[in-house]
Structures are given as C-alpha cells and as structure tokens.
Chain A
Amino acid sequence: MELVLSAGIGVLTASGAWLLFRPRTYQVIIGLSLLSYAVNLFIFGMGRLRVNAPPVLEPGGTGGLLTHTDPIPQALVLTAIVIGFAMTALFLVVLLASRGLTGTDHVDGRE
C-alpha cells in the first residue's frame, strides 16, 4: 500500500515537473494539474495510511486515534482540491487569452 502510494506520488510529481518546464502553455497546465494531484495524495499520506478505518465516528461509539484515521488531512485535502481546481480554471482562461493575443501557444508569446 505504501509502495503503491509513494510510487504514484513520485510518478505524478516527476511527470508534472517535467511538463511544467516545457515551452507550450498546454503542457504547463497539464504539468500543474499533475503536480496538484501529487500534492493532494501527499497530504493524504501525511495522515498515515490506514485501511478500512472510519474517518470520524462509527455507529455505537466514539472511538479514538487507535481505531480511526486522521480526519484533518482529509479536510485539508478538500480545501486544497477546491483551490487547485479554481486556479487551474483561471490559468486555462489566461492561457486562452494569451493564445488569442499572441497567436502562439509558446509561454513567452513568441516562438
């Protein structure tokens, strides 16, 4: 489980970072998206991995940290997803504006 998650984060980060340094705006935006997925998974991982454990409460008892997963990273990741999503949308608009104004999809506005 740990291996799968860490490999997933690693692959996403590596491909995201590589795309981020590419000269085409579309590659940059995909790179940023991949990076933000990697970051979201990473935040999850920081709550420690737990299989089949309830996040907050289970019926008939309050439980404790021994039987539950940490709910805070899940709350954090929700915020991070929303913000990341909004920023990607905004970046997409700027990308289109840049394409329209300069006639090229190079990040510097010229080939």
Chain B
Amino acid sequence: MNWLHHLIILPILLPIITAASLIPLDERNRTLKGVIGFASTLIVFLLSVLLMRTVAASGDSGSGASVYLLGNWPAPFGIVLVLDRLSALMLGLTAVLALATQVFSMAKWHRAGHHFHSLFQLMLAGLNGAFLTGDLFNLFVFFEMMLAASYGLLLHGSGPLRVKAGLHYIAVNLAASSLFLIGVSLIYGATGTLNMADLALKISTIGPESRMLMEAGAAILGIAFLVKAGMWPLGFWLPATYSAATPPVAAIFAILTKVGVYILLRLSMLLFGSDAGASLGFGQPILLYGGLLTIGFGAIGVLASQAMGRLAGYCVLVSSGTLMAAIGLGNGAVIGGALFYLVSSTLTICAFFLLIELVERARDAGADVLAVTMEAYGDVDENEEEKEGGVAVPGTMAVLGLCFCICAILLSGLPPLSGFLAKFAMLHGLFNPGSFGGDAPVSGAEWTYTALLILSGLSAMIAMNRVGIRTFWTSIEGTIPRVFLIEITPVLLLLVACIFLSLQAGPAMRYMDATAKSLGEPQNYIGRVMSAPRAGPAGGE
C-alpha cells in the first residue's frame, strides 16, 4: 500500500482544514483568505487530475476502482471511500468550477458578506465527499455538509430577495433530507447493510417481503436526489433560487444538481444493474419520463424567461433533465455521451452564470424594468454595482459579446463546440448501441428523447439570440460595463476548457465510454470494495 493510496482522502480533508483555518482570520484580510482558499482548491484540482490519470491508467486492465478503508475496518463493516473513473471525473469537474468561481468572487463578491471562503471550502469538502463515499449513510452526512454550506452561500450578500429564495430552498431541502433518511433506514431495515457494494450483492438474494421494503426505500431515497437534480414536478424551486444567488454562488451551484444526477447514476447502475435479479432496472421508467418532462419544462422555461438569470436557471433544468433521461434509457452507449454532456454543460452553465453578471452591469436597471416583467429584479443590490472602480478594459463589450456567443453555441448544441459533440455522442449511442446492447428497434421514448434533445437546443438558441440582440445590439447608448481582468479571466478559461474538450473529444470520449462500460459492469466495483486489503500487520500487507 503506497503513499499514493492515501491521496484519496485529501480532496475531503484539505478543504475542511482550510475552511477551519480561515475562520479565525480577520474578515478584513479577505484577499489573503481568498488566496489561501484558492491554493487549497488548486491542490485539490491537481490531485484530482493525478487521481484521474491513475484511475485511467489502471482502468484498461480491468481493475478500475481503488478503495480506501477509513479506520482500517474491513469493507462491509467500516466506512469506505471509493475512487473510480466516475468519481475521479466528478472531482476534477468540481475543482475546475471551484477554481473559476473563486477567482471571480475575489474581484468583489466575497466582500458582500462574512466567511465566504470558509463556506466555499466546506461545500467543496461536502461535494468531494459525496462523490467519493461508498456508503449510503456517509453520503447523507456529506450531502448535508454540502447543503449546509450551500444555504450559507445562497444567503451570502443577504437582501430580501435572497432571504426569500433561501427560505424556500432550505425548506425544500430539509424536507428532502427527511425523505433521504427514511429511504436510507428502509434500505437498512430490509437488507441490513449500508455499504453500496454490499447492498448490490444482497439485492439479488433478499426475499419478496423485504424486496418490497427495499424498493420502497430506494424510491423514497430517489425522490431526495430528484429534488436536488430538479426533476419536473420537484424542481420549481430551482430557477428562482439560482437567479437570486450571487453570481459566483450560482455558478458553483451548477454542480449541485449534478450531485443528484451522479448519485442517481451511481445507484441505478450499481444496485439495479445487470445483477439485480427481480429488481433489474428499477426506477428507470421514472427517470426516463421524468427526465423527458424536465427537458420539456426547461425548454419552455428557457423560451419564456426574460431575465438572463432565470434563463440560466432553466438551462440547468434542461441539462439535468437530459442526463436523467439518458440514465433512464439504460443504454451504456448513451451514458458515455451523457457523461461528456455533463462535463460540457456544467462548464458552460458555470461560465454563463458568471458572464450574466458582467453583461447585466451594462444595462441600466430602469430599462430592464420597462422592457420586461422582471418582478425578481427590483431588489438586487444596485449600490454595490455602482461603486466599484475597475479599469475599463478596452473593447469590453466585444469580449463579453464573444463570450456570450460561445455560450450560446455551447448551450444550444451547435457545431463545432463540445455542446454539439455531446449531443451527437448521445444520439449516436442511442441509434448504435454497439457493444453495449442488442439490436432492439428504437422505441417511442427514444424518439421522443431525440426530438426533445434537438428542440431544447433550438429553444436555447432562440432565447439566447433574443437576449443577445437586446443586450449587445439594441443598447448602443447603454453604459459600457467596468469589468476587472480578474472577472473575465475565469469566464474565458471555462470557455477555453469547453473548446479544449471539443478539440480533445477523442481521448475524452474514450475515457467517458470506459467509465460507462465500468458502470455497466458493477461486479468489478463490488469485488474491489469487498476484497479491499487492510493496511498494516492486521491486513497482512
């Protein structure tokens, strides 16, 4: 057991330590706090790249997951952290988003309230923990940690609008957490284990009376994640919340819905995958049709929203609906493309949330109120935006416009960028299952999925065009926004990351396909967890 193995726990440990050490520092040293937080995130990012490379290198020989036994207890009894391709990918994505938003916040937004950087680090710890844990109850703990920090971040900057959105957000999530606990305890009551791998082993052997309880538990647990992912009847809180949050917070929240999607993907592939016996494919129709409805609802919302913040919120819904439906299709080839879409759309939405704030500085509030029915807009803290005195970058509007165009192309899925490649990969997988499945004819649901995928792109394009024209063309006499270099750089870097993803689509798709393949063969994951060697003399290693 070499030292590299212990790196698995660092993405959780390091942000917690950083968050704790930032608290005693005086609030006036915000920049110092920001730099320390940034350094910590940077280390986590480098770590996640290292972990991803390790996993990718070992994955080809069929091993894949590496398991870290906390407290050195053997697997089904102790708590485990599991790093496989999927969790490594999510760690990397989180770190990229965190880097960008953290730099952006340091221009001015972290001054809007207390302890921004501590909360931010705690949320990262919760996110990383949720991606790494191999145990349902620990998932709850990390999930709550992430949510608790996100409540604080959402309320960052205060104001009636944010407090109202925060009130709703907290109430919805507390109710969802209750469901989470009910689901977890039902599953425990029915199977006697909380370890995901052990659970997957026991699922095929439990009796019919326990199976009913277990499936009820899994369904209730699923609702908690569907609330987080914003599935149609459960996602009405999302656009209001995201558009009320301060821009860097909204940008990092783009990953929060993906936590719900990640866990749905992980659990449905692990527990109800090929070995599930009578529970095979449990919940998939719900995911599929719920996802389709979410895409539809999101696409209509995108068309209907006047404010850019709400537009971005509905884009989040479209993105998570697309992913949920892709999981619900239960086709490994689609899931490979869906993972690519997950990375691409999350990066894009994060960049878009950051960009919105920069663009909206150019529009004076009066014109906005006249132009559209934005009841939500009136309460935004105007004073704060007036008093900053940055260097006006020459051609600010040109740069912003360019970024906006790239965002529009990515969101609507037009060639040549990664948004198009992702949708193409999903549709290609849908019609050519290849090694992942038989030659079953394309079903009605799959046709609907195809149509909705393309139509949602169209509606995003229409909405982005309309907003873009109104912002960049018809407002010539509008004020040129003052944008700090430190604010536009993260946006540019996120978009460059998307472009890089498009250029390196070959290797990226190979990684995603291998991830989908390993998800489709949970035996490997289960075997690695259950036979994880213990460290030290007791484990005989």
Which residue of chain B has its CB nearest to the CB of A40?
B181
Given A39-B181, A101-B160, are A79 and B174 also a contact pair (CB < 8 Å)? Answer: no
Are B170 and A94 in contact (CB-based, < 8 A)?
yes
Instruction: Establish whether residues A108 and B164, one from each chain, have CB atoms under 8 Å apart when the complex forms.
Output: yes
Q: What are the residues of chain B within 8 A of A88 when measuring CB–CB?
A: 174
> Do A76 and B137 touch (CB < 8 A)?
yes
Contact with A along B172-213 (1 / 0, CB 8 A): 001101100110111011000010000000000000000000
Asked if B331 is an interface residue, CB under 8 A from chain A, the answer is no
Bound-state CA distance A101–B155 (Å) is 13
**Taking the complex as formed, is B374 at the interface, i.e. its CB lies under 8 A from any CB of chain A?**
no
Chain A 84-111 interface mask (CB, 8 Å, partner B; 1/0) = 1011101100110110011000011100
Shortest CB–CB separation between residue B323 and chain A, in angstroms?
27
CB closest residue in chain B, given A95: B167
**Distance in Å: Cβ of A93 to nearest Cβ of chain B:** 9
Asked if B181 and A43 make an inter-chain contact with CB atoms under 8 angstroms apart, the answer reads yes
* Residue B363 is within 8 A (CB to CB) of chain A in the complex: no
Chain A residues whose CB sits within 8 angstroms of the CB of B148 once the complex forms: 86-87, 90
Give the CA-CA distance A94 to B186 in the complex, in Å: 31
CB of B431 within 8 A of chain A?
Answer: no
Output the residue of B144, B185, B188 with the most chain A CB within 10 A.
B185
Instruction: Verify A109–B160 contact, CB threshold 8 A.
Output: yes
Determine if A87 and B177 form an interchain contact, defined as CB atoms under 8 angstroms apart: yes
- Residues of B within 8 Å of A86, CB to CB, are 148
**Interface residue from A43, A90, A107 paired with B185 (Cβ < 8 Å):** A43
- B163 interfacial contact with A, CB 8 Å: yes
What is the CA–CA distance of A35 and B526 in the complex, to the nearest angstrom? 35
Compute how far the CA of A94 lies from the CA of B171 in the bound complex, rounded to whole angstroms: 10
Chain B interfacial residues counted at CB < 8 A: 29
B126 CB to closest chain A CB, in angstroms? 12
Q: Quick check: is A69 within 8 A (CB to CB) of the other chain?
A: no
**Minimal Cβ-Cβ distance residue in A for B181:** A39
* B190 smallest CB distance to A (angstroms): 9
In the complex the two chains form, is A42's CB within 8 Å of B185's CB?
A: yes
Which among B140, B144, B160, B185 is the interface contact of A73 at CB below 8 angstroms?
Answer: B185
Most buried by B among A47, A87, A95, A107: A87
Whether A46 sits at the interface, judged by CB under 8 Å, is: yes
Would you call A42 and B182 a contact (CB within 8 A)? yes
Q: Do A107 and B174 touch across chains, with their CB atoms under 8 A apart?
A: no
Contact between chains at B164 and A39 (CB < 8 Å): no
Minimum CB–CB distance for A73 against chain B, Å: 7
Q: Does B109 contact A (CB under 8 A)?
A: no
Q: What is the distance, in angstroms, from A2's C-beta to the closest C-beta of chain B?
A: 13
Report the interface size for chain A: residues with CB under 8 A from the other chain. 35
B133 to chain A, nearest CB (A): 14
CB distance from A29 to the nearest CB of B (A): 9
Q: Compute how far the CA of A8 lies from the CA of B1 in the bound complex, rounded to whole angstroms.
A: 50
Contact bitstring B145-159, A, C-beta under 8 A = 1, else 0: 000100100010011
Q: Is B166 part of the contact surface with A, judged by Cβ < 8 Å?
A: yes
A101-B167 in contact (CB<8A): no
- B168 proximal to A (CB < 8 A): yes
Are A97's CB and B182's CB within 8 A? no
Contact in complex: B181, A25 (CB < 8 Å): no
CA–CA, A46 to B140, complex, Å?
17
CB-CB under 8 A from A20, the residues of chain B are 171, 175
Alpha-carbon distance A86/B152, docked complex (angstroms): 13
User: Bound state CA distance, A11 and B171, in angstroms?
Assistant: 20
Known contacts: A43-B181, A76-B185, A79-B141. The answer to whether A32 contacts B164 by CB under 8 A is: no
Closest-by-CB residue of A relative to B166 is A94
Closest to B161 in A: A109
With A and B bound together, what is the CA distance between A108 and B164 in angstroms? 7
Tell me whether B175 and A25 are in contact (CB under 8 A).
no
Check if A90 sits within 8 Å of B171, measured CB to CB: no
B174 contacts A87, C-beta separation under 8 Å:
yes
- Contact residues in B for A48 (Cβ distance below 8 Å): 189
Residue of A nearest to B141 (CB): A79
Does residue A72 face the partner (Cβ distance < 8 Å to B)? yes
- Known A42-B185, A90-B151; judge A98-B177 contact (CB<8 A): no
A7 within 8 A of B: no
Chain A contacts for B137, CB-based, 8 A: 76, 79
Residue from A32, A36, A94 within 8 A of B155 (CB atoms)? A94
Q: Are B144 and A46 in contact (CB under 8 A)?
A: no
| Bound Cα distance from A47 to B148, whole angstroms | 28
Shortest Cβ distance from B240 into chain A, in angstroms?
11
The answer to whether residues A28 and B171 also contact, given A36-B178, A73-B185, A73-B188 and a CB cut-off of 8 A, is: yes
The distance in angstroms between the C-alpha atoms of A88 and B140, with both chains bound, is: 17
Contact A94–B175 (Cβ < 8 Å): no
Residues of A within 8 A of B (CB): 20, 25, 28, 32, 35-36, 38-39, 42-43, 45-48, 72-73, 76, 79-80, 83-84, 86-88, 90-91, 94-95, 97-98, 101-102, 107-109
Q: 11 other contacts beyond A46-B189, A83-B144, A90-B151, with CB at 8 A cut-off?
A: A32-B174, A36-B174, A72-B188, A76-B184, A79-B137, A79-B141, A80-B140, A86-B148, A98-B163, A101-B159, A102-B164
A-B contact pairs, 20 of them (CB 8 A): A32-B171, A35-B175, A36-B178, A38-B178, A42-B182, A42-B185, A43-B185, A46-B188, A73-B185, A80-B181, A87-B177, A90-B148, A94-B155, A94-B166, A94-B170, A101-B159, A102-B164, A107-B167, A107-B171, A109-B163
Kindly list the 7 A-B residue pairs having the minimum CB-CB distance in the complex, ordered from nearest: A46-B189, A46-B185, A43-B185, A101-B160, A109-B164, A39-B181, A98-B163
